Amino acid sequence: MTVRTQSAAHAGSDTGEPERIYRRDELTAVTGYGIDRIYQLVDEGSFPRPIPLGKRAVGWLSSEVREWQLQRIAERDAKAAA
């Protein structure tokens, strides 16, 4: 499975919510995953890649994380319907 990414110009426009950048602590709270698992999913290509914010800082676009969550929900619903 691949994760579709959006350009910054279009990010967040699907929901009408302003684009946010999740830092590590907020990302783990939103996903329920620890940071090690998140990076494992990134390496597997099944979670959005972080964006560099500085020399030692990264973040994740809220629209990409939300899209990832919606994909999980769709997969769950497809399995329930089968």
Q: Which of 77, 6, 52 is nearest to 65 (CA)?
A: 6
pLDDT at 3: 52
Within 10 angstroms of residue 41's Cβ, the number of other Cβ atoms is: 16
pLDDT in tens, 25-69: 999 999 999 999 999 999 999 999 999 999 999 999 999 999 999
Longest C-alpha distance within the chain, in Å? 47
Q: Which tens digits make up the pLDDT trace of 5-35?
A: 444 444 455 667 789 999 999 999 999 999 9
What pTM did the predictor assign?
Answer: 0.77
Q: Where are the domains of the chain?
A: 21-81
- Residue 11 confidence (pLDDT): 46
Q: Which helix (H) or strand (E) holds 60?
A: strand 57-61
The confidence score (pLDDT) of residue 16 equals 74
CA torsion 4→44→59→22, rounded to 10°? 70
3-state secondary structure at position 53: strand
